[in-house]
Chain A
Amino acid sequence: MQSNGHDQTAAVRDTIYRAALALDDQRWQDWLELCAPNFHYKITSFSPEINKDMIYLQGSRKEMDSLVRMLPKHNTDHSPLHRHTSVYTIDVSEDGKSAQAVSSVVFYQNMLDGNNSHIESGETRLFLAGRYVDTFAIEDGAAKFVDREVKLDNRRLDKGSHWPL
């Protein structure tokens, strides 16, 4: 869709992929820079075991900022996570000021210090799979996240993670 000479879908896609790279590289502040002040983040899953939609983590932009700033105080599995993200659909509003996007996402974990590093470091494992369901505000040709839901397929999460997905 074209509006005011800008390609909003390209802007949305660009923001999703830039966020993926920032999160892969643990550039948390760069990721948050892509988020609007009213940004809300959550990780969810549906459990057939208890027949409930679940929220595994959620927070505002401020709360996510606090969470990532506190990371150095915590003991963490430092095995890097890498996302393979494919944007499936982008729906831009009539006025061109907002958009929703659905992406498929797979998280790989490159083993480092989580268990026995001599044996496991360097190995890449499938960590999680799901979808990003994102909502954007579009202004001056740039798309910023106002909402991100990471909808996981997984309920088996083993050690889990301290990091935003």
Chain B
Amino acid sequence: MPARNHTQWSANPPLETGEWVDSRIYSEQEIFEEENEKIFKHVWVPVCHESELPKPYDFRTTTIAREPIVICRGPDNEVRAFLNVCPHRGMLIERRPSGSFLEGQPSGNPKRITCMFHAWQFDMKGNCVYVAREKEGYQDRLCKENVGLRRLRCEVKFGGFVWVNLDDNPAQTVEEWCGEPFECLRESLNAEPLEVFHYHKAIVDTNYKLWHDTNSEFYHDFMHYHNRITGFNDAYFARKNFAYDNGHVVVGTFEVNYENYEGFESRAELSFPHLPPNQWYMVDLFPGFNFNLRGSALRCDIVTPLGPNKVMIEFRGLGLKRDTPEERMTRINHHNSIWGPFGRNLHEDLIGVAGQGATMGPGTEPRHILHGRHENETIHDEIGMRHYYGTWGQWMNRLPSEPDKPYTATAVAAE
């Protein structure tokens, strides 16, 4: 077909409903705000790894749906999460990305979470333990027992990741939420303690779902010379996608030939426990979290949507806590070779998703984004995205292909 006029360009593609989405779901402010309210405030988010707060009184800070959060390890070794907000005047309590409450702060005592503004102090369970000039100011009208921190649901699960849910009454536990997709990695992740060795972040002018799409579909391997040369073979094209409840997807494994890329090497000697040599599993969790195990190194992507056309992606790399220095260095090199900020693949993925963001800014005309490849649910079948957007439609009560209309199951039947 020759190039199309506007009417032709805007007409529905000759695919089934559910095999494309309307690009407004990537660009509308209203939809973004609704996603924060309806999705991100109710799902389990893997905010960090327990190795980032290894000792009692260690803490990390993070954000979900604009809500600042502090995660800390108590003297009882329990990891807990609280809103990082002082109940007095709404000050952000802890401003650092990580640290320890073991040491006193200019406004507060050791072993306390202290708001620097007016010196209110809290223990590792979120109890308020000190209000400056409490009796003088509040007499008997308000006391420490009235002003504890806002505690958040928090679990440590699947290889030590710390999961937080803003919803006090989540519909499911973490196990119920994503236990099935993690089954393929459960033994490997739980065999022994893991440790984060890599962290960096990207803030990209694109929608968070477009990043998750890139992690969910492998048709884009044509973009990666590394993946073509190390992967494209019969076993690669037979690699299956598996859809699970809650919009999650697992991409099945095959053996990667890393040595086919000049200068790269097999990862067989440092495979994660219970993982056959050079295998590669991918777990994509709704609404935007990715666990990617390539033999010797685990990568985890966590998205924090910042706007309809802006997302922060945090990248972590993990190895085994017991690694010798030599083993750790090898894992780091394997991780960096394709996934580091100066690696061969991640740069290409980020160029791709930034290019999508450049065409789908707020106010751009609605376009059809195609998810219609069917290849027996194998690697270049776009079932992962179709499955995801079926779930997204349910959570949002919007039809992904016509987001002004309410979701109906029959309209998204192409999956």
Contacts and interface: CB of A to CB of B under 8 A. Distances in A.
B262 A70 contact: yes
Given A55-B332, A74-B225, A158-B204, A49 B350 contact: no
A1 interface: no
Interface in B56-73: 60
Contacts of A45: 200
Interface in A36-74: 43, 45, 47-52, 54-58, 62-63, 66-67, 69-70, 73-74
Nearest to B100: A51
B355 interface: yes
A52 B199 CA distance: 9
Contacts of A77: 347, 351
A4 interface: no
B342 to A, nearest CB: 4
B342 A43 contact: yes
B167 interface: no
A159 B351 contact: yes
Nearest to B349: A159
B200 to A, nearest CB: 5
Contact of A50 (B199, B205, B262, B342): B199
B346 interface: yes
A36 B249 CA distance: 48
B344 interface: yes
A157 B340 CA distance: 10
Interface in A127-143: none
Interface string B357-368: 110000000000
B202 A115 contact: no
A72 to B, nearest CB: 9
Interface string A138-161: 000000000000000001111111
Given A63-B263, A155-B201, A52 B347 contact: no
A159 B263 contact: no
A157 B200 contact: yes
B247 to A, nearest CB: 27
A157 B312 CA distance: 11
A2 interface: no
A12 B69 CA distance: 48
User: Is chain A's binding surface mostly helix, strand, loop or mixed?
Assistant: loop
A102 to B, nearest CB: 22
B342 A161 contact: yes
By size class, the interface of chain B is 35 or more
B348 interface: yes
A47 B98 CA distance: 10
Contacts, number: 115
A158 B351 CA distance: 10
Contacts of A48: 96-98
A158 B200 CA distance: 9
A19 B236 CA distance: 42
Contacts of B336: 55-58
Nearest to B345: A74
A122 interface: no
A76 interface: yes
Contacts of A162: 342, 344, 347
A144 to B, nearest CB: 22
B333 A76 contact: no
B347 A156 contact: no
Nearest to B313: A158
Contacts of B201: 155-157
Contacts of A160: 202, 340-343, 346-347, 350
Nearest to A120: B358
Interface in A18-46: 43, 45
Given A48-B97, A159-B351, 17 more contacts: A43-B342, A50-B51, A51-B52, A51-B98, A54-B200, A55-B336, A56-B340, A67-B263, A70-B261, A74-B347, A76-B351, A155-B200, A156-B203, A157-B201, A157-B341, A160-B342, A163-B342
10 contacts: A50-B197, A52-B197, A52-B199, A58-B333, A58-B336, A115-B205, A115-B355, A157-B201, A159-B350, A161-B347
- Sorted from nearest, which 8 A-B pairs have the closest CB atoms? A160-B341, A157-B341, A66-B263, A57-B342, A159-B350, A73-B225, A116-B358, A47-B199
